[in-house]
Amino acid sequence: MAREFTSVGVVGLGTMGAGIVEVFARNGIDVVAVEISEAALERGRTTLTGSTDRAVAKGKLAEADRDALLSRVHFQVGLDALHSVDLVIEAVPEHLDLKQRIFAELDRVCKPEAILATNTSSLSVTEISVATTRPNQVIGIHFFNPAPVMKLVEVVRTVVTSADVVADVEALCERLGKVDVTISDRAGFIANALLFGYLNHAVSMFESRYATREDIDAAMKLGCGLPMGPLALMDLIGLDTAYEILDTMYRRGGRDRRHAPVPLIKQMVTAGLLGRKSGRGFYTYERPGSPVVVPDEQTPVASESALADGARGIAKVGVVGSGTMATGIIEVFAKAGYEVVSVTRGAEKSAKVFESVKTSLNKGVVRGKLSEADRDAALGRINWSATLEHLADVDLVVEAVVEELSVKKALFASLDEICKPGVVLATTTSSLPVIDVAMATQRPADVVGLHFFNPAPIMPLIEVVQTIRTSAETTTTAKAVCATLGKTGVVCGDRSGFIVNALLFPYLNDAVKMLEASYSTADDIDYAMKLGCGYPMGPFELLDVVGLDVSLAIQRELYLELREPGFAPAPLLEHLVTAGYLGRKSGRGFRDHTRR
């Protein structure tokens, strides 16, 4: 039988501590809420009442329940007030010496059987536990912010944590309505170990001026379905907190360069640009603590006239290819009012593409997203061809053929001879260097990457990839076309992975390495990222959907170009691909899909 927790103590009433207090009090448990001074105590009380009042206003909490909740909380100054509680959770700033001092004092104050827990997100629970005479009763209970909302709790056991203590805390998490994942004491645990490498990489991308803050954030939200872009998330977490977590992970996690804080982070912290809490970080906010972003000197001008200024007129578009991506792109342009010339390798392939486009448009009619007249008009704008010569008078060509450089280069050399001067030549490659394709022509200034995401009619993002030879006019034209299609175009340089894949696949690779090291299970890692970070899919779910072979190929390209040791493909990923376990398409990847 798990022990009954009738009263708990919470030390530190900042945003996280006050949230943890609310979680326990909501679930009928008496809480002793402790701070260092009356002023700090009052701030904590204000945070708690503000949160519960908002819940009442939104209809998520009855007034009577709020009043009962608040009556269970006893605010006190000083650790001596915790002498009779069954469990204490510490939620003070991430400084090891501070936490060790608090735990030494808790060891003196608390009754012998009390469990002592830390909410640390990055520090060693083991190092904290040795400040006490009861390290077997010390455990990590890592809540996620905001604690009343986020479902995940990471339960962190050390090598000496008692099995009974782990079981009691797991049962408590279930009572609180949380999903717990139990893990060993390792830098970053699950969620932060995967999240902060990705965040650090995004800051590096911004620091090098590879892409704007807006484009990096839009790319990850729209391309991956994430709830926030990485730079906006850094502002929410706080750059000082992010720096401490990264620095700790770097020192504790084998000094992986991917966790070495990007210099810009330390510079911003030193300058007081801490994110939302200071009113300015990567973005500027209405006031300190506000989530409302206001324009600043880096905010781009987004007016339609500014977008169209300097862009070439595009009325007729050629699409080369007959696969899924080509079919989707044809539909996107035709629905947006462009005249389209579809070029495939023969009448049979053209007939298949026509049927695919027609079927997709009919689905739009059935779902009420498209009228029959609009469907017929879109189909009427498409001309079907099996010869490249029919592209002689188009204004834009979009290539969507197989991902082989030799094939694309040969195609672009032919387009160079056939197409009129001034036409924009675009490749949809997701992994090959655009400059290699561009230099197959005599007009590299007119060549750009337009990386659509699959399925093209649904996904709202296009990566506009400019090479060192792409003209400003070509880039402006490409962005204007994206806007006309109703898509968000994000501009980036011609580098392996562009924005989305360069940030996404190292994170997926890190998850495989975590599984490979037997640190956690695929299920728990997926739970951690979905419930702790709000991701729509866990990394292993996503890998099985994308295809392990595709993922391995992209990771190899990233590693070959950047030569970053942390980007080397995980051996487990290579072994699964060699074994033919490619994900859903083969019936088995990280999970067996034949039984579902």
Per the CB < 8 A criterion, the answer to whether 91 and 14 are in contact is yes
Known catalytic residue at 200: no
Q: What is the 3-state secondary structure (H, E, C) of 331-351?
A: HHHHHCCCEEEEECCCHHHHH
Q: Report the Cα–Cα distance between both ends of the chain, in Å, rounded.
A: 35
How much is the pLDDT for 94? 85
Q: Alpha helix (H) ranges present in 485-547?
A: 500-516, 522-533, 539-546
Q: How far, in Å, CA of 588 to CA of 495, rounded?
A: 32
What pLDDT is recorded for position 302?
Answer: 62
**Which entry of 22, 35, 90, 154 is annotated as an active-site residue?**
154
Q: Does the N-terminal peptide bond of residue 93 adopt cis geometry, omega within 30 degrees of 0? A: no
Q: Which of 51, 119, 121, 129 is catalytic?
A: 121
Give pLDDT, residue 2: 73
In which residue ranges of the chain is pLDDT below 50?
Answer: 306
In degrees rounded to 5, what are phi and psi of residue 377? -65, -40
DSSP 507: H
- Which one is catalytic: 192, 278, 356, 509? 192
Nearest CA to 252 out of 121, 145, 137, 98 is that of 121
Q: How far apart are CA 305 and CA 150, in angstroms?
A: 42
Quick check: is 121 catalytic?
yes
Instruction: Describe the strand order of the beta sheet including 447-452 as a list of residue ranges.
Output: 382-385, 339-343, 316-320, 396-399, 424-427, 447-452, 461-466, 488-493
pLDDT at 252: 78
pLDDT for the residue numbered 310: 77
Strand partners, 279: none
How far apart (Å, rounded) are the C-alpha atoms in residues 359 and 318?
21
Return contacts of 106-114, CB within 8 angstroms, 24+ apart. Answer: 106/11, 106/79, 106/82, 106/132, 107/131, 107/132, 107/133, 107/134, 109/79, 109/80, 109/82, 109/83, 110/9, 110/82, 110/83, 110/85, 111/83, 111/84, 113/86, 113/137, 114/85, 114/86, 114/87, 114/88
Largest pairwise CA distance in the chain = 86
Question: What pLDDT, on a 0 to 100 scale, did the predictor assign at position 156?
Answer: 95
Q: What is the pLDDT of residues 203-216, one digit of tens each?
A: 999 999 999 999 99
Q: Is 192 a known active-site residue? A: yes
Q: What angle do CA 9, 10, 15 make, to 5 degrees?
A: 160
Domains delineated in the chain:
7-185 (3.40.50.720), 192-278 (1.10.1040.10), 304-494 (3.40.50.720), 505-586 (1.10.1040.10)
